[in-house]
Structure 1
Amino acid sequence: MTDIQAPGSPGTEVPRSENEFTVKQRSQTQLILRRFLRHRAAMISLAVFLLILLWAFIGPHLWHYSYQKYTPDNSQAPSAKHPFGTNSSGYDSYAQVMRGTQTSLKIAILTALGSTLLGAVWGAIAGFYRGIVDAVMMRITDLVLTLPLFAIALVISSRTGGDWYWIAIVIAGLTWAYVSRVVRSTVLSLREKEFVEAARALGASDVRIIFRHLLPNSLGPIIVNATVLVATGILTETALSFLGFGVQPPDTSLGLLVSQAQTAVTTRPWLFYIPGAFIIAIALTINFIGDGLRDAFDPRQQRVRQ
């Protein structure tokens, strides 16, 4: 007599269906990265921004002219020898735009890092403790938000000597409040979650809860606001330098190059429009990257893109 075994009994192989499939589990980080990589505008903008970054920081070491070196070719139009032309003093505009882009990017990135760090910590502490601590810290934040950013930055920058790092510090000191309010609202909702209660029950200190649990879980809004602050930093620096209160010669920046070429718009337009185009390109790419990050971290705001 032949033994009949149930399909699920040991030693019996159940044939797999041709339509059977497995589901691959992805972590939250993988899902965010996948959504960001599918954002076409953000990916194109990221590629453009990285190219500008590499060109600005590596290009000066490969180019045969220095931004401080005179050439005998005064007021030359763009050519193979001088791709962006030269100004009336004989400076190679290609070298100067590279240096100006580098300086402007350093100011923008330092501004974003400084204001994001200060604003995130300030907002996390206010949101975690609430009560009188929250009230006092948020009133200080409201005071900073009411200050006229450009006017205060102009006054302070005029007394810093035009060094790029002082300009970045000034702008960061006036923009951190925007990040603070966003992080505070996020922390207010996170502090009531189960993982925070579990950390308290295990004896975690307030400092550990804020920096180990709350801030990492607020990373999405923090990163998105940091990208916005990069654009804010470069545009504010451009305006300050354009008015003569930003970066000072012999150094240069994109805003300073535009300011110096404003009288030559009709006679030598390349001196004005080329650095202006780089300002627009950097601001636009940063905004598109921020848009992609926002959609990646919060898929509820994601728009349908073909």
Structure 2
Amino acid sequence: MSDHTGAAPRPPSSAQAAVAVRQRSQGELVLRRFLRHKAAVISLALFAAVVLLAFVGGALWRYDYADITSAVSVPPSLDHPFGTDNLGHDTFAQVLRGTQRSIEIALLIAFLAGLVGTLWGAFSGYYRGITDSVMMRIADLVLTLPLLAVAAVLTRATSGSWWFVALVIAALQWAYVSRVVRGVVLSLREKEYVEASRALGATDRWIIFRHLIPNALGPIIVNVTILVAAAILVETALSFLGLGVQPPDTSLGLLVSEADTAVSTRPWLFYFPGAFIVVIALSINFIGDGLRDAFDPTQRKVRA
């Protein structure tokens, strides 16, 4: 019997090497990169907590946002954590309701403006020529419109319908996204994988939706998150002018605008909804930064 003592170990076969090193799926890569962004993970948890508090806590809280209590203009206490206003409304209940409505408005604006802007910019940048010129001139026209003035005119006859307010603002915001997406697509359309897809007979729609838009997700996500924060500020401005969400419904912008004259006498009416606006805007921006890094198309392979 031969003695194998001291024999050098055999190198791993090609099959074993293939098992040791594998290419992760796109979903695994995105999740892995996102979890490395600590600020984004913390912000996601904070935003989820705010949403849960607003939509679940509002239903469980002892007061409804429209209830009028006997406590009028009282500061924060155990019974009324955020105090009450001059009519006896519980400010905590109103802030929860306002957070619900503001989040709904902001997300609807960001979704609609992001969707329209992405498609508009992608088709414009891909086809170029006359198509690009006409589509971008329309986008430039929308960009020249004064946002608050046009939104004020269009929402005047809506009686404070929140979804119509969101539609109007989205219709005036999509052009910002389209300009960014167009610039990215103009660069991506010259890449080798796009030329290869054309050579293999891929349709224009397949190239746009399978290659161009997915590889432009980073800039798209960043701009959509900016829209979420901007939407809350625009809604606040419209509410200050009396053209946003109207009583008996409420929003964070409306609460801030109603309390602007009570900052010195009843500061809780102003600072609590204002703090929620700041928390929502900052957390969504950090989430956007994390997603931008997670969708970075320059990083594809990660060792297991």
Name which structure has the greater RCO, CA cutoff 8 Å, separation 6+: 2
Which runs of no fewer than 5 residues in structure 2 stay unpaired?
Answer: 299-304
Which runs of no fewer than 5 residues in structure 1 stay unpaired?
Answer: 301-306
Measured in 1, the distance between the counterparts of 2:103 and 2:77 equals 26
Q: Which stretch shows the higher mean deviation, 188-197 or 258-267?
A: 188-197
CA RMSD of aligned residues (A): 2.6
CA contact (8 A) 1:124 1:183 kept: yes
**Residue 294 of structure 1: aligned partner:** 292
- Superposed CA deviations along residues 78-98 of structure 1, whole A, max 9, x for unmatched, are 111111111111111111000
Residues 58, 248 of structure 1: alpha-carbon distance in 2 compared, 3 angstrom cutoff: same
| Percent identity between the two aligned chains | 66
Q: Give the counterpart of 1:53 among 51, 54, 60.
A: 51
**Residue 112 of structure 1: aligned partner:** 110
**Residue 179 of structure 1: aligned partner:** 177
Q: Give the counterpart of 1:237 among 224, 235, 238.
A: 235
Measured in 2, the distance between the counterparts of 1:275 and 1:158 equals 24
Q: Give the counterpart of 1:170 among 131, 148, 168.
A: 168
Matches within 5 A, 1:66-81: 66-81=64-79
What is the deviation of 1:256? Answer: 0.7
CA contact (8 A) 2:85 2:269 kept: yes
Measured in 2, the distance between the counterparts of 1:116 and 1:260 equals 31
**Residue 10 of structure 2: aligned partner:** 14
What is the deviation of 1:23? Answer: 4.5
- Superposed CA deviations along residues 196-244 of structure 1, whole A, max 9, x for unmatched, are 3333344333223322332222222222221111111111111111221
Measured in 2, the distance between the counterparts of 1:195 and 1:297 equals 18
CA contact (8 A) 1:235 1:283 kept: no
CA contact (8 A) 2:238 2:244 kept: yes
Measured in 1, the distance between the counterparts of 2:41 and 2:287 equals 7
Q: Give the counterpart of 1:219 among 217, 234, 240.
A: 217
Q: How many residues align?
A: 291
TM-score by length of 1: 0.87
CA contact (8 A) 1:66 1:95 kept: yes
Q: Which stretch shows the higher mean deviation, 193-202 or 279-288?
A: 193-202
**Residue 228 of structure 1: aligned partner:** 226
Residues 190, 63 of structure 1: alpha-carbon distance in 2 compared, 3 angstrom cutoff: same
Opposite residue 154 of structure 1, the aligned amino acid is: A
What is the deviation of 1:190? Answer: 2.1
Residues 189, 198 of structure 1: alpha-carbon distance in 2 compared, 3 angstrom cutoff: same
TM-score by length of 2: 0.87
